[in-house]
Amino acid sequence: MSEKFDVIVVGAGPAGISCAYELAKAGVNVLLIERGEYPGSKNVMGGVLYRKMMEDVIPEFWKEAPLERPVVEQRFMMMDKESAITVGYKGMEWGQEPYNNFTVLRAKFDQWFAGKAVEQGALLVNETVVLECIVENGKVVGVRTDRPDGDLYADVVVLADGVNSLLAKSLGFHKEFRPDEVALATMEIIKLDKKTIEDRFNLEENQGTTIELFGDATKGILGTGFLYTNKDTLSLGVGSLLSGLIKHKIKPYELLEYVKNHPMIRPYIAGGEPVEYLAHMIPEGGYKSMPKVAGNGVLVVGDAAQLVNAIHREGSNLAMKSGQFAAEAVLLAKEREDYSEATLNHYKTRLMSSFVGQDMKKYKDSTHHFDKFPQYFEKYIPMANKAMSQMFTVDGTSKWDKQKKIWRDVGTAGEKLKLARDAYRAWKVMK
C-alpha cells in the first residue's frame, strides 16, 4: 500500500476535515486518515459550533448539517456553594439566519462534515492509526500507519491529530505538554424530553441556551463548567487544568458528580437520564505553548497546534480556520512545486495575522495569570456572591450601611489594596 498522494491529512476533526475539504475542492489528491471507527466517534466538545468559520467552508451549512439548536442566549454563572451570580444576553437576532452559533453533537456533526469532504473528492480511511511521520533528508515525505504495509507518501502531511499530537512531538515541534498547559474535561449527555428542556430554559422551539459555569463548579480550581441545550439532550461538563486537579487531588469525574448535584444545576437536569459519558483533554497553554506549525513537507493545525481560546471557549472555529489556511499554503506550495518550510510558512503568516493569531496573543498570559493567582476563583467569586446576597436581602438595614458592611467584609486595608491590584492585573491580562 505504498501509495503516493498530494496531501495526507491525519485526523478527521474540524481542523483536518476543513483542510481536506478545501484541498479536494481545489482538485488536490488528498487522503484523510482517521483512527476512529468514523469521524467524530472519538471526538468531544461541549459543543458550540461557530457559524462564521463553518460557513467560510460550506456556505449555508445549517440547511443540511445535523445541528442541535441555534443559540439565542448565552449565560455566565459565577457560583458559590449555594448561590450564583448570573449575567447573560438573549437576542432574537441569533435565532434567525445567518445565526451566531449552534449546539452540536460531534459524533453526528463530524461524520456529516467528513462526508462533505468525501463528496468533494477526498479519500477518507477510518480505523487507521498513524504511528509516525516518515522523514527523509530532513523532510516529511509520508506516514507510517498501523495497517500491514501501511506506509503512505505525500508531498505534504498535515497533522490534525488533536491535543496531544504525538506526531508533532516526535518531529521535535514541541515537548511533552506540562500539566498547566492542558485541561482535562469530563461531560455527560443527559437525555431529557424536548418540551421539558424548552420550559426549563425558557426557550421556544429551535432555540438554545448555553450556560458557562465558574467558581464552585470546579470547587474554586481554575477551570469552567458548561450546560448546553441540545434538541432532546443536555450537555453538562466540567474541566480544569491538570495542574489544578493534581494539586487539589480531585479526580475529574468527582468534579462532574459535584456539579450535577449543585443546587444551581440540579433542577435543570432533574429527571434526565445520562446516555453518554465522555472525557477529553483541551490544550490551554495558549500562545506561549504553540509549537512550531510548519516544517519541510509538514503543517500542524487545530488542537495539535494548541489553537484554543480558553477564555471564550473557542476551539472548533480556530481549528477550521487553521485547516483552511493550511490548505491555502499547500496550494501555494503546489503552484511553486516547493514544499519546503520556507514556502509552507505562508500558513503561519496567514494564521498569525488573522483573528486566530491575534486572539491567541491577546490572551497569551491569561490562563497562566489565573493559575498563578488562585484567589480569583477561590476567594473573589464567593466574596461577590456574599455581597450580592447582602445587598439584595431586605432586612431594614439602609443600602448605605449595606455598602459599608460589604466594603468592611473585604478585609483590612492591605486586603483591599490587594483586591484593587488583582482587579487591575486581571484587566491587564484580558485587555
The contact set with ligand FAD (CB under 6 A) reads 10-16, 33-36, 42-48, 129-130, 160-162, 185, 187, 237, 239, 280, 282, 302-304, 308, 313-317, 319
CB atoms within 10 A of CB 279: 14
CB of 211 to ligand FAD, least distance (A): 12
Query: 288 or 336: whose CB is closer to ligand FAD?
Result: 288
Query: 298 or 387: whose CB is closer to ligand FAD?
Result: 298
Residues in a beta bridge with 237 = 187, 226
CB of 385 to ligand FAD, least distance (A): 25
* 3 state SS of 171: coil
Query: 48 or 293: whose CB is closer to ligand FAD?
Result: 48
Query: 127 or 273: whose CB is closer to ligand FAD?
Result: 127
| 102: nearest Cα among 223, 231, 236, 274 | 231
Query: 83 or 233: whose CB is closer to ligand FAD?
Result: 233
Query: 28 or 227: whose CB is closer to ligand FAD?
Result: 227
Query: 235 or 385: whose CB is closer to ligand FAD?
Result: 235
Q: Are the beta carbons of 142 and 153 closer than 8 angstroms? A: yes
Q: Are the beta carbons of 120 and 24 closer than 8 angstroms? A: yes
Cell reading at 202? 425558557
Name 110's Cβ contacts closer than 8 Å, sequence gap at least 6: 12, 13, 14, 17, 39, 40, 43
Dihedrals phi, psi of 200, to nearest 5 degrees = -65, -35
CB of 389 to ligand FAD, least distance (A): 31
| 426: nearest Cα among 383, 368, 384 | 368
| 274: nearest Cα among 235, 240, 239, 238 | 235
Query: 296 or 317: whose CB is closer to ligand FAD?
Result: 317
Alpha helices by DSSP H, listed for 104-207, are 106-120, 166-170, 194-200
CB of 387 to ligand FAD, least distance (A): 30
CB of 163 to ligand FAD, least distance (A): 6
CB of 150 to ligand FAD, least distance (A): 11
CB of 169 to ligand FAD, least distance (A): 11
Q: CA 245 to CA 265: how far, in whole Å?
A: 21
CB of 212 to ligand FAD, least distance (A): 9
Dihedrals phi, psi of 80, to nearest 5 degrees = -110, -170
CA atoms within 13 A on the CB side of 41: 8
* 3 state SS of 74: strand
CB of 430 to ligand FAD, least distance (A): 19
Q: Are the beta carbons of 345 and 332 closer than 8 angstroms? A: no
Query: 34 or 198: whose CB is closer to ligand FAD?
Result: 34
Q: Are the beta carbons of 129 and 146 closer than 8 angstroms? A: yes
Please provide the distance, in angstroms rounded to a whole number, between the alpha carbons at the two ends of the chain: 52
CB of 119 to ligand FAD, least distance (A): 19
Strand pairing category for 4-10 and 84-90: unpaired
Alpha helices by DSSP H, listed for 34-130, are 51-57, 106-120
Query: 12 or 192: whose CB is closer to ligand FAD?
Result: 12
Q: CA 4 to CA 374: how far, in whole Å?
A: 52
